[in-house]
Amino acid sequence: MLFKLASTVFLAQFFALTSAQTISGPFDCLPAGNSYTLCQNLWGRTSGVGSQSSTLVGSSGDSVSWSTNWNWQNNQNSVKSYANIIADNAMGKQLSAVTSAPTSWSWSYETKSDPIRANVAYDLWLGASPVGAPASRNSSYEIMVWLSRQGGIQPIGGPTASGIQLAGNTWTLWSGPNSNWQVLSFVSDTGDIPNFNADFKEFFDYLVQNSGVSSQQYVQAIQAGTEPFTGSANLVTHSYSVALN
């Protein structure tokens, strides 16, 4: 009885901080707890036909829960969107000054079509100046970490290294250019990673030691989300957090 009461109180507190809110406009954003922003970012929507909405489920302390519900057809090789959580404060630090960058991401597909073409991925933006919007003229590198790759989709460029051991997983690194920045994508060799815990400092150190990334580069933004190509899904993030120390 006492236990039940306690857990009810805990759940009530968890959801009391933010009641579920849904956004559906192409570039709608929503504050998500104290340190994140949830954005739809349907940047590639005109290459296909479909719709997407994203919901902030709740937040507690440094952790946020959200979902995105999408349905896209046509142009199976084109990304339609990148609904994501961006950290408001994990930015403006040089790689050489990063002591740790812990992250935790627990996610699952509540529903998904078969076939489906989509990833679940981080987007970490690096640049020569402390301030830089993602995918802007200030971007030097887009570091992606793919926790899921469904339907045979591919990162930009081609594979340049494989069997990379980082954060308790094995990765293939893809590399290629996009606009004015370089894309470096770590793709899981072992399929979906639905419960990811890592320190991004391990990835930064790898890139500085092996990929020619200068330790003078600044972390400009850290995002976590999904790039749908075609199909439909409801992707739920049960809990997510990241910090840059």
Ligand X SMILES: *[C@@H]1O[C@H](CO)[C@@H](O)[C@H](O)[C@H]1NC(C)=O
Q: Smallest gap, in angstroms, from Cβ of residue 6 to ligand X?
A: 46
**Choices 35-43, 64-72, 74-82, 124-132 (CB under 6 A): range interacting with ligand X:** 124-132
Among 22, 77, 129, 216, contact with ligand X (rule: CB under 6 A): 129
Among 136, 154, 211, 234, contact with ligand X (rule: CB under 6 A): 136
Q: Is 128 in the site for ligand X (CB under 6 A)?
A: no
SS3 content of the chain, % helix, strand, coil (to 5): 15, 55, 35
Q: Smallest gap, in angstroms, from Cβ of residue 221 to ligand X?
A: 9
**Choices 64-72, 90-98, 103-111, 135-143 (CB under 6 A): range interacting with ligand X:** 135-143
3-state secondary structure of 86: strand
Say if residues 24 and 40 touch (Cβ distance below 8 Å).
yes
The rounded distance, in Å, linking the Cα atoms of 114 and 124 is 29
Identify which of 233, 69, 225, 82 has the alpha carbon closest to the alpha carbon of residue 151.
233
Q: Smallest gap, in angstroms, from Cβ of residue 175 to ligand X?
A: 23
Identify which of 182, 192, 43 has the alpha carbon closest to the alpha carbon of residue 116.
192
Q: Is the dihedral of CA 190, 229, 45, 141 positive or negative?
A: positive
Q: Cβ neighbours of residue 24 under 8 Å, at least 6 residues apart?
A: 40, 51, 52, 53, 54
User: Site size for ligand X, by CB under 6 A?
Assistant: 7
Among 18, 41, 53, 138, contact with ligand X (rule: CB under 6 A): 138
Which residue's CB is nearer to ligand X, number 16 or number 133? Answer: 133
110 catalytic? Reply is: no
Which one is catalytic: 125, 183, 224, 227? Answer: 227
Q: Smallest gap, in angstroms, from Cβ of residue 129 to ligand X?
A: 4
Which residue's CB is nearer to ligand X, number 206 or number 218? Answer: 218
Give the position of tokens 């999904």.
226
Query: Rule CB under 6 A: which residues touch ligand X?
Result: 129, 131-133, 136-138
